[in-house]
A and B are shown apart, each in its own frame.
Chain A
């Protein structure tokens, strides 16, 4: 048995236990399923640490080789380490740690998202034109949904929120459900392929 076969069998056993734990009330299966979930949480936490190490490695390399825009990497690595050290000493509930979170991360994150409004306004002005029937339908629907969502839409026409609700609850939902059911069936098919060892991409070795 080679390494890949071993990992396929391990994946299948773990996957089947988790599935069985959802459907059966056998104590051993339930306990094992719960334990495996805890392992998953621990592995995910380790993966976060690994991600931080990997990020540092990539950006320290960028700095040492003076790659393009290496100054941004200095900022990233510097803040990563400073905030991590503060977190270790002060804990993530501490005042100093939260000062950085509340006064640097939150405003800059909010700013990035808020800038979208300006870019959307500019992009909509230039590109959101009714060049075809499809784009005209999209344009009208988007306008009605925007107006229906804002109080001004109701001030312009009392029934605007109702029209918006219809667009969201009927055509939008029909499309969303179609996408969800398709994605759900796809996920089941992928799960079966992984359990049967047909899909081996997650093992990092391709189909060989």
Chain B
């Protein structure tokens, strides 16, 4: 009996998980959640930006992590464009697909009217992608307009009003890195944060958080967003529910189902009379 339960068809497991993920979409229980200190610190750093500050949003992720990280990026961009008018926003990426996400997000915010009145080249700019990973990050730190000589529109970055007075990485007031791998947090810390004293906030895929916590504890990352939960926390702090918040109930029930499976798997394992024979 026990071994029968243990060897249940995997398609049944898939179906149960699918139902548990889908059910809250149709009947969301709206479970409350507390906002952690890492997200609070990240939000505070962005909220404290003064008009004229230069913030770099670095999009370093691929489509595989987009559903997790993009809601974070969207929430930060909404905050900057809606409430932090006068802050200069530069988006760029060291992952090929990164700047495309920046553009998609911008278009979505544009459709909502959030970006009305902003001028390209003065208030924001998309510098696109350059190859070279950590070496390219080092080039950005040494001279941003030399590393990214042209933006995605083909303009010379040195001629853009947004880059006036920017000579080295130390002229960046805040770096917000959205990433899910290498190059990512450690590379930015080695090349930009520590040598040039640039404060950094990280928007991470949940799988990358464990490896980045030492940088947060050391103060090299002043705050971070933990996957989809991080996006939901930011949305809660900002007061606008978005894709992060709406996914939280599915997130909860999905986790609970997997834990239930682990429990059932363990119970059946220990109650299985054939267990000792197999040993």
Residues of the A chain whose Cβ atoms lie less than 8 Å from the Cβ of B6: 126
Given A169-B217, A172-B210; A150-B255 close (CB under 8 Å): yes
Q: What are the interface flags for B28-43 relative to A under an 8 Å C-beta threshold, 1 for contact and 0 otherwise?
A: 0001111010000000
Stretch at the interface among B48-56, B77-85, B129-137, B158-166: B129-137
Contact indicator B62/A125 (Cβ below 8 Å): no
Given A105-B63, A106-B63, A125-B261; A173-B214 close (CB under 8 Å): yes
Contact indicator B67/A150 (Cβ below 8 Å): no
Contact indicator A149/B229 (Cβ below 8 Å): yes
Q: What are the interface flags for A79-95 relative to B under an 8 Å C-beta threshold, 1 for contact and 0 otherwise?
A: 00000000000001100
In the bound complex, CA of A169 to CA of B17 (Å): 30
Q: How far is the CB of A136 from chain B (nearest CB, A)?
A: 9
Q: How far is the CB of B208 from chain A (nearest CB, A)?
A: 11
Q: What are the interface flags for B189-222 relative to A under an 8 Å C-beta threshold, 1 for contact and 0 otherwise?
A: 0000001000000000010011101100100000
Contact indicator B62/A109 (Cβ below 8 Å): yes
Q: How far is the CB of A104 from chain B (nearest CB, A)?
A: 10
In the bound complex, CA of A169 to CA of B7 (Å): 37
From A105, A128, A180, B214 is in contact (CB under 8 Å) with: A180
Contact indicator B258/A146 (Cβ below 8 Å): yes
Residues of the B chain whose Cβ atoms lie less than 8 Å from the Cβ of A112: 64
Residues of the A chain whose Cβ atoms lie less than 8 Å from the Cβ of B66: 106, 109-110
Q: Closest chain B residue to A177 by CB distance?
A: B214
In the bound complex, CA of A114 to CA of B18 (Å): 11
Q: Closest chain B residue to A126 by CB distance?
A: B265
Q: How far is the CB of A187 from chain B (nearest CB, A)?
A: 10
Main secondary structure of the interface of A (DSSP, over half): helix
Tell me the chain A residues, 127-181 only, with Cβ under 8 Å from chain B: 127-131, 139, 143, 146-147, 149-155, 161, 165, 168-169, 172-173, 176-177, 180
Given A41-B135, A118-B17, A176-B214; A152-B103 close (CB under 8 Å): no
Contact indicator A154/B131 (Cβ below 8 Å): no
Contact indicator A37/B135 (Cβ below 8 Å): yes
In the bound complex, CA of A138 to CA of B215 (Å): 24
From A34, A47, A93, A173, B213 is in contact (CB under 8 Å) with: A173
Residues of the A chain whose Cβ atoms lie less than 8 Å from the Cβ of B213: 168-169, 172-173, 176
Contact indicator A121/B143 (Cβ below 8 Å): no
Q: How far is the CB of B79 from chain A (nearest CB, A)?
A: 22
Q: Closest chain B residue to A45 by CB distance?
A: B131
Given A101-B100, A161-B36, A176-B211; A150-B264 close (CB under 8 Å): no
In the bound complex, CA of A22 to CA of B195 (Å): 8
In the bound complex, CA of A122 to CA of B256 (Å): 14
In the bound complex, CA of A129 to CA of B266 (Å): 5
Q: How far is the CB of B195 from chain A (nearest CB, A)?
A: 7
How many Cβ-Cβ contacts under 8 Å join chain A to chain B? Answer: 171
Residues of the B chain whose Cβ atoms lie less than 8 Å from the Cβ of A143: 259, 262
In the bound complex, CA of A161 to CA of B14 (Å): 28
A113 within 8 A of B: yes
Contact indicator A34/B139 (Cβ below 8 Å): yes
Contact indicator A151/B147 (Cβ below 8 Å): no
Contact indicator B17/A40 (Cβ below 8 Å): no
Residues of the B chain whose Cβ atoms lie less than 8 Å from the Cβ of A118: 13-14, 17-18
Contact indicator B265/A98 (Cβ below 8 Å): no
B104 within 8 A of A: yes
Q: Closest chain B residue to A120 by CB distance?
A: B258
B226 within 8 A of A: yes
Contact indicator A161/B34 (Cβ below 8 Å): yes
Q: What are the interface flags for B253-273 relative to A under an 8 Å C-beta threshold, 1 for contact and 0 otherwise?
A: 111111101101110010000
Q: How far is the CB of B108 from chain A (nearest CB, A)?
A: 11
A27 within 8 A of B: no
Contact indicator B142/A34 (Cβ below 8 Å): yes
Contact indicator B139/A41 (Cβ below 8 Å): yes
B238 within 8 A of A: no
In the bound complex, CA of A120 to CA of B142 (Å): 43
In the bound complex, CA of A167 to CA of B21 (Å): 26
Report the 9 A-B pairs with minimum CB-CB distance, sorted nearest first: A109-B63, A152-B252, A44-B132, A151-B33, A44-B131, A40-B135, A151-B31, A41-B132, A125-B261
Q: A112-B64, A124-B261, A125-B8 are in contact. List 8 more A-B contacts (CB 8 A).
A: A33-B142, A37-B142, A41-B130, A45-B132, A107-B63, A125-B261, A128-B262, A128-B265
A and B contact pairs by CB, cutoff 8 A, 9 listed: A34-B143, A43-B132, A44-B132, A44-B136, A98-B100, A147-B256, A147-B259, A152-B252, A154-B32
